[in-house]
Every structure is written in structure tokens, then in C-alpha cells.
Amino acid sequence: MKKLLRCCDVISGCDFVARGVNENEIIMRVTQHARVVHDVAWMTPDLLKRVLAAIRDDEPVIAEG
Ligand SMILES: [Zn+2]
């Protein structure tokens, strides 16, 4: 099951979505995104906790019929 993180679940008003095969990949992507877009120099333990809490399973979209 792939993982997904909506940035707006952590920082409101952002439509960035990070996808990855596991939490580490998500964190890597969102750290880079936060640095570039939100001017977050590094992931604080508090921010990391909120990111981890916001990670969801990426439901596969299956076209039926
Ligand atoms: Zn964002």
C-alpha cells in the first residue's frame, strides 16, 4: 500500500500532495517541499509528529467496468 500526505493537513492552504512507497519517502519529499515552498529550514520534532499523523494510505483508483 502506497502512502500519501496532503500538505494542507499540516500547513493549511497548501495543495501539495506527497506520495511514496513508505513513510520515509514521504518525509523526504515533504521536507524538500517545506524547505522550498514554506521556508522551513528543517523538520522539527513537533512538525515531524504532525506529518506522521497526517500520512494516509494512498487508495488505488480502480476503474471498473
Ligand atoms: Zn505545502
**Consecutive 10-residue averages of pLDDT for the chain (65 residues):** 94 95 95 95 92 92 77
What number of other Cβ atoms are within 10 A of residue 5's Cβ? Answer: 24
Predicted TM-score (pTM) of this structure: 0.83
- Residue 33 CA to ligand 1 center (angstroms) comes to 6
Question: Is 64 inside a domain boundary?
Answer: no
> Does any domain span residue 65?
no
Give domain status of residue 52, yes or no: yes
22 domain-assigned: yes
> Domain total for the chain?
1
Q: Distance from the CA of 17 to the center of ligand 1, in angstroms?
A: 8
pLDDT at 63: 80
CA of 63 to the centre of ligand 1 (A): 29
Return the closest-CA partner of residue 37 out of 15, 58, 55, 53: 15
Residue with the three cell numbers 497548501: 14
Q: Judge residue 15's burial from the number of C-beta atoms within 10 Å of its C-beta, 0-12 exposed, 13-18 middle, 19 or more buried.
A: exposed
